[in-house]
Amino acid sequence: MVKDTKQAQCGLSVGLVEKKYFTFAEPPGLMQLESGAVLGPVTIAYETYGTLAPAKDNVILVLHALSGDSHAAGYYREGEAKPGWWDVMVGPGKGIDTNKYFVICSNILGSCMGTTGPSAANPKTGKPYGLDFPMVTIGDMVDAQKALLDFMGISRLVSVIGGSIGGMQVLEWSLRYPEMVASAIPLATTPRHSALAISFNEIARQAIMADPNWRRGNYYEGDLPRTGLAVARMIGHVTYLSDEALRRKFGRRLQDKSDFSFNFDADFQVESYLRYQGSKFVDRFDANSFLYITKAADYFDLRARYGQGSLIEAFAGAKASYLVVSYTSDWLYPTYQSKEMVKAMKKNGLDVSFCEIEADCGHDAFLIPNERVTTLVRGFLQRVSVNIGK
């Protein structure tokens, strides 16, 4: 059934797309980070879909989560099997309609998908930074995106949209550059990382750092910390799912066996699935990037950063219209956390729509085709686009 929905929703694709690069903060003009450290040069990998209006007033910024990249929609090559990670949402006639909007998605600072991160070359040594890469925050990620927009001459955004860590960037954008952001759509996210969310991130980091191949982040010329990163990914992956989703998808079904193995092989399909998720991930993601980005998420706290401890205070400077979306089975960033920010937005008289989506697939729900969310986003964008034109 999900497949049919996907088919129906995918419709047309943006077609072939190209990854582009923009470099800034070239010495001596280094980028100032929240930690006080400086960084440069910084390269941002990005993609765009649709056409920029002459007035540059039709721009939507799509922000990705932990393991995402700039490839939100379309295909790099003809005949490629898999489109970008949010192709169900971004394209002609889709929730984010590329016939109307000029959509930008860039890889976040600290990642390993083309944007500068710990695996990039440290100009001081010519070798990968490793742990010499400075700690970056969600705010720093947003500042890097801002540099890209400055370069493109874009000073106003119809909307910023993203889920999970992408949603944190959405919220950060709306408070850091309120004059630029007409609307903001944070999905499946939180105004601050809870102790539970920090716990899972910390355990995943410990798993990476326990791998002897990690060698304090200095592994790029030797064996990679594959097993540590695989365990980290498995931990993350389970937190993106739900009891019900796992029961529906796997239950206690055995892996091509009629009985238990009575050894430590994968007896259950869910075990094989997790092992596969772990091993697949290490082929495409850098362990140090995992450490840096999860730490940035743990540091994320709008109350502390913008409100001196008060979430209401934090949104005092916001000017955007908001569409906040949470999912019933998301236990990583439960609905009550979205409700907290909705309340704070309302207390500030902001224009807020809130919707809790009935979905049994956990935190990952924001990536899964959902007609209701598509309709919500489309309608919300139409409304704010009219307003931005005024």
DSSP string, 152-178: HT---BSEEEEETHHHHHHHHHHHHST
Q: How far apart are alpha carbons 230 and 154 in whole angstroms?
A: 39
The continuous run of DSSP H or E covering 324 comes out as strand 321-327
Q: Which two tokens stand for residue 89?
A: 């949402």
Own/partner long-range contacts of 123-131 (Cβ < 8 Å, ≥24 apart): 123/27, 123/40, 123/41, 127/220, 127/221, 128/220, 130/216, 130/217, 130/218, 130/219, 130/220, 130/288, 131/216, 131/217, 131/218, 131/288
Q: Which is nearer to a copy of itself, 151 or 260 (CB)?
A: 260
The continuous run of DSSP H or E covering 242 comes out as none
Q: CA neighbours within 13 Å on the CB side: how many for 79?
A: 0
Q: Which is nearer to a copy of itself, 98 or 294 (CB)?
A: 294
DSSP string, 71-130: --SSBSSTT-S---TTTTTEETTSSEETTT-EEEEEPPTT-SSSS--TTSBPTTTSSB-G
Instruction: Yes or no: say if 159 and 59 are a contact pair by the CB < 8 Å rule.
Output: no
Tell me the per-residue interface mask from 125 to 164 with a copy of itself, x by CB under 8 A, - otherwise. Answer: ------x--xx-----------------------------
Phi, psi at 151, each rounded to 5°:
-60, -40
Q: Which is nearer to a copy of itself, 84 or 236 (CB)?
A: 236
Instruction: Yes or no: say if 110 and 144 are a contact pair by the CB < 8 Å rule.
Output: no
Q: Is 35 a catalytic residue?
A: no
Instruction: Kindly name the residue from 70, 330, 338, 385 that is annotated as catalytic.
Output: 330
Segment contacting a copy of itself (CB under 8 A): 160-168, 171-179, 199-207, 342-350?
199-207
Q: Is 363 a catalytic residue?
A: yes
Of positions 39, 62, 108, 270, contacts a copy of itself by CB under 8 A: 270
Tell me the per-residue interface mask from 245 to 264 with a copy of itself, x by CB under 8 A, - otherwise. Answer: -xx-xxxx-------x-xxx
Tell me the per-residue interface mask from 329 to 348 with a copy of itself, x by CB under 8 A, - otherwise. Answer: --x--x--------------
Written as one letter, the residue type at 91 is: G
Q: Which is nearer to a copy of itself, 123 or 212 (CB)?
A: 212
Nearest approach, Cβ of residue 21 and a copy of itself (Å): 27
Q: Is 272 a catalytic residue?
A: no
Nearest approach, Cβ of residue 230 and a copy of itself (Å): 7
Q: Which is nearer to a copy of itself, 70 or 137 (CB)?
A: 137
- Asked if 379 interacts with a copy of itself (CB under 8 A), we say no
Instruction: Kindly name the residue from 143, 338, 363, 364 that is annotated as catalytic.
Output: 363
Q: Which is nearer to a copy of itself, 299 or 327 (CB)?
A: 299
Catalytic positions, written as ranges: 164, 330, 363
* Residue ranges binding a copy of itself (CB under 8 A): 35-37, 131, 134-135, 192-196, 198-200, 202-203, 205-207, 209-212, 227-228, 230-231, 234-235, 238, 241-243, 246-247, 249-252, 260, 262-264, 266-268, 270-271, 274-275, 278, 291, 295, 298-299, 301, 304, 331, 334
